[in-house]
Amino acid sequence: MQIVAALFAEDLEVREVEGPSTRLDIRGIKFSEAPSSGYPIAIEPHLFVIVRCGTEDDQNAVLQVLFMRDGEQLARNVQPLMIEPGKFAYRLVRAELNFDAPGVVEAHCSVDQGEPTIVPFTLMEPAE
């Protein structure tokens, strides 16, 4: 299995079209955010991870996401994957992330502890 995409976003909708075929409508993709209030603050951004199971792959695997800041692990999410060979699936990953000041968190996403796909998320100065 392999990660096709990993994105922080506001919403994801699944819809069927002719074929039958499936469409993933991802809205509000973001790599940064300005909080509405000051620090400290806790946020829970939505991370959508899209995974493909190759036709020759085992249909069972494990998705692990480590949320890292300055080399320190802030949170960890582990989910089993069961995807039919030749198909795609997505997983929503959420973690509570605490910020004392603006900064960057990186989500290290991997399948079966393989090479990670790294997605940054920056929390900026509060919006004025």
Residue bearing tokens 């400290």:
40
Mean pLDDT of 71-78: 96
Say if residue 127's pLDDT is above 80: no
pLDDT digits (tens, 9 = 90+) for 84-110: 999 999 999 999 999 999 999 999 999
Q: What local confidence, expressed as pLDDT, does residue 116 receive?
A: 97
**Average model confidence (pLDDT) for the chain?**
94
Say if residue 48's pLDDT is above 80: yes
Between residues 22 and 69, which one has the greater pLDDT? 69
What whole-number distance in Å separates Cα of residue 5 and Cα of residue 91? 11
Q: Could you tell me which of 120, 81, 85, 117 has the C-alpha nearest to residue 4?
A: 117
In this prediction the pTM is 0.92
pLDDT digits (tens, 9 = 90+) for 15-44: 988 887 888 999 999 999 999 888 999 999
- List of domains in the chain: 2-123 (2.60.40.10)
The percentage of the chain sitting over the pLDDT mark of 90, rounded to a whole number, equals 88
